Amino acid sequence: TKHRYASTVTLTYYFDNTAQSNKCKRFTSGYTDILKTVVVGSDGSTLELPDIDFVWNARPIASRSGDYRNGQKGGVAEMFGWPHKDVKEECEFLAKAGYLGVKLFPVHEQLMSTQPFEDAINPWYFMYQPVSYKLDGRMGTREELRELINTC
């Protein structure tokens, strides 16, 4: 396992507070919790990774007559510029109105500036300029996104 001081630091991996020296761990669909992962170096350094919610934990999609399962087409609401919290609040209304889904702004961390660019602070197209894979961006946090997905 690599570390910036690889020859002197040993890493320990904690998956749900269970320590192991191997960086890999297998999970099956029998695991239904949200996984907490922490890496600790023998020098005291610590890296806490974002919680992992496995795909098999997803709630089943409610079936409605006239939805896509029988080949019907349907509308998708584009929530351009809507924060995650606001989209979550509108999901029930949109579902009752017959929409099959919502389209969000990119959810990753985006380019942000404190200086005007072409007479605008952080214009809309900055949303499409990712700076990391973090799921925290201008529209909300990772936890707000998780709540939106579980609600919608």
- 16 pLDDT band, cuts 50/70/90, is very high
Mean pLDDT of 129-145: 88
Q: Where are the domains of the chain?
A: 11-56, 59-151
- Could you report the per-residue pLDDT of 29-40, keeping only the tens digit for each? 999 999 999 999
Q: Residue 129: is it exposed, middle or buried by C-beta count within 10 angstroms (0-12/13-18/19+)?
A: exposed
pLDDT at 131: 86
Q: How far apart (Å, rounded) are the C-alpha atoms in residues 19 and 12?
A: 6
The CATH number of domain 59-151, selected from 3.40.1000, 3.30.750, 2.40.128, 3.30.160: 3.30.750
